[in-house]
Amino acid sequence: MRDLFLVSWLFGTAAFFLIGVFFGFRLILIKKKWSGVIFILAGIIALIFNPIVNLVTTDNFNHRCCEAALENAKLGDYVGAQSEVIRKQFGPPYRIQTSAGVEYWAYRTSPWFVFKPDEFLGFEMREGKVANLYIEVD
C-alpha cells in the first residue's frame, strides 16, 4: 500500500507539472501571456516544492507518532517483559540490530504514507527481556 501511494504521488506531481507547462505554452501561443506564465510557474513550483512539503509535514508527523507510541509503551510498563510479549503486542520488529549481546528492536510507528521515517520506537532487549524503551533516530 505504501508503494502505491509513493507511485501515485510521484505520477501526480509529474502530471501536474506537465499539465501546467502544456496549458501554459498553449495560453502563451493564443496571446494570453500572463495566464500562460502563471500556469508554467505553477507546474514548476509543484515539481520543486511538493517533495519538500511532503518531507516537512511527514517528518513532524512521524516525530509526534513516535512520541505517542513511546508514551503508550511506557504506560504499558513493558520494561522487564519477555520478547514474546513485545512481539505479540507490536508484531515483528521493523529492524533488529545486535551489539555485544544486546538486541535493539526498532518499530515503525508512522503511517504508511511516511516514505522514509527517521524515528522509530526502540526496545533494548537483554537476555530476552526489555531493558529500555527509547526513540531511535536514524
Delimit the domains of the chain by residue range: 2-137
Read off the DSSP letter of residue 76. Answer: T
pLDDT above 90: residue 124: yes
Q: Cell match 533494548: residue?
A: 124
What pLDDT was estimated at residue 98?
92
Model confidence at 1, pLDDT cuts 50, 70, 90, reads: very low
> Would you say the C-alpha torsion 43, 49, 54, 55 has a positive or negative sign?
positive
Model confidence at 4, pLDDT cuts 50, 70, 90, reads: low
Beta bridge partners of 99: 102
pTM exceeds 0.85, yes or no: no
Cβ–Cβ < 8 Å for 130, 123: yes
Which pLDDT tens digit goes with each residue over 18-51? 888 898 888 888 888 888 889 889 888 888 887 7
